[in-house]
Amino acid sequence: MADPVKVDKVLDAKGLLCPMPVIKARKAIKEIALGQVLEVQATDKGAMKDFEAWSRQTGNELLDSSEAGGVYTFHIRKAKE
């Protein structure tokens, strides 16, 4: 079993529709240090594809993503300033 991810900041984007979860994540990731992890919680079904694409485009590392009870959770490691 993998060790749990150490989360440095949590962003609650539940109830927001595309593109707001990504816009808020972009702002939140600027507030953490290089190597730290941002957890994003969203309810928008499009968030899975949105965060995969956003991570690729920004160079930040999408560590994992999951869904439980309609809430999508993403762990993103800040890899670029």
Known catalytic residues?
Answer: 18
The phi, psi pair for 78, rounded to 5°, reads -70, 115
The phi, psi pair for 17, rounded to 5°, reads -105, 160
Spatial neighbors of 81 by CB under 8 A, at least 6 apart, are 34
